[in-house]
Amino acid sequence: MTALFGPSGNSQSFYNEGHKSTTEAPEWLKKKGLDAFEYSFGRGVRIRESTAREIGGAFAKEGITLSVHAPYYINLASTEEDKKKNTIRYFTESVTAAHWMGATRVIFHPGAVGSEDRDTAYGRALEFFNEIIHEVKSLGYDEVHLCPETLGKINQLGTVEEVLKLCSLDRNIIPAIDFGHLHARTVGGIRTKDDYKKILDMMEDSLGDDRASRFHIHFSHIEYTKQGEKKHHDLKDEGFGPDFEPLAELMVKRNLEPTIICESPSMMAEDAKTMKEIYLKIKNGL
């Protein structure tokens, strides 16, 4: 086994080369040496079963691992009943579509604190997420894992600790660690290998199983303000972090096998390939 790398959706270069359909993406990615892809339902799950199965079949044929991103509208801390009903629907629709596509991970944003104190909002989020887990389990698609993501703005739910506590509710929940988001919400707090080590140690201590080695990663350079995330950047953009190499060194040293999805705004596939090359160079001792 090894770490897997790929983009969050189709890169601009995919379209520049004349491609139009996501069913063409798996062969394109394989030729670039990539092995993962994240399909976004960020604006809502609008896909027919036949289309989902066609897309999934194309990725399976080329051996590209699929994950999906649930709608951005999810907020586990919401107090409004209609929004809570919609949130449950977003989860069940995302998991069902993932099942059709052969995707095994559904990444989602936990939500926002709002005007309340953080502990109150998060306590309600934990309680509601427990309900959602039971609702999702009733679908019977046990191969699909829910993956709460660390978020980049300080007023959002999504610190490492908060994500890991969500994961503690069920072994089928896998953390999605967005290191760019964490760098932003800590106002540039990921600068050294030791900064990465602390996060990986927290995961290992909290989870105590293979989720700490086969977790999900989002990675890109990021611009931030004192409130956290402002804008994602390509790896070539100078003056932004975090640096991927220290993380790659720890991945090799600890035999970690995460799926790493690149979220660079215009060069997702290219930057994913760059990260894979850095990782393989370290792994092969070059």
- In this model, does residue 32 exceed pLDDT 80? yes
Confidence of residue 115 (pLDDT cuts 50, 70, 90): confident
Residue whose C-alpha is closest to residue 204's, from 170, 175, 240: 175
Q: How far apart are the first and last CA of the chain?
A: 20
> Phi and psi of 7, rounded to 5°?
-95, 165
> Which pLDDT value is given to residue 80?
94
* 8-17 confidence digits (pLDDT tens): 999 999 999 9
Domain segments of the chain as ranges: 4-283
- Per DSSP, the three-state class of 94 is helix
Predicted confidence at residue 220, as pLDDT, reads 97
> What pLDDT sits at residue 72?
96
Q: Above 70 in pLDDT, residue 286? A: no
Closest CA to 156 of 240, 72, 38, 244: 72
Please state the rounded mean pLDDT for residues 16-34.
Answer: 96
Place of tokens 């520049």: 16
- pLDDT tens sequence across 208-256: 999 999 999 999 999 999 999 999 999 999 999 999 999 999 999 999 9
CATH of 4-283, picked from 3.20.20.110, 3.20.20.150, 3.20.20.70, 3.40.190.10, is: 3.20.20.150
The SS3 assignment for 201 reads helix
Asked if the model's pLDDT at residue 82 lies above 80, the reply is: yes
Name the one residue in this structure whose structure tokens are 């993962």.
Answer: 36
pLDDT tens across 96-109, in order? 999 999 999 999 99
Distance CA 94, CA 144 (A): 10
Inform me whether the pLDDT recorded for 111 exceeds 90: yes
Rounded CA gap, 187 and 239, in Å?
A: 14
pLDDT of residue 36: 98
Structure tokens at 34: 């990539």
Tell me if residue 66 falls in helix, strand or coil.
strand
pLDDT digits (tens, 9 = 90+) for 120-144: 999 999 999 999 999 999 999 999 9
pLDDT confidence of 114, banded at 50, 70, 90?
Answer: confident
pLDDT > 70 fraction of the chain, expressed in percent and rounded: 100
Q: What is the pLDDT of residue 1?
A: 73
Tens digits of residue pLDDT in 169-191: 999 999 999 999 999 999 999 99
**Type of residue at 104:** T
Q: Beta strand 36-40 with 221-225: parallel, antiparallel or unpaired?
A: unpaired
Mean pLDDT of 38-52: 97
What's CA 243's distance to the chain center, in Å?
A: 18
Report pLDDT digits (tens) over 266-281: 999 999 999 999 999 9
Residue-wise DSSP of 211-255? GGTS-EEEE-EEEEETTEEEEEE-TTSTT-B--SHHHHHHHHHTT
Task: Tell me the per-residue pLDDT of 141-157, one tens digit each, with 9 for 90 and over.
Answer: 999 999 999 999 999 99
Do residues 135 and 146 touch, judged by C-beta distance below 8 A? no
Residue 245 burial by Cβ neighbours in a 10 Å radius (0-12, 13-18, 19+)? middle
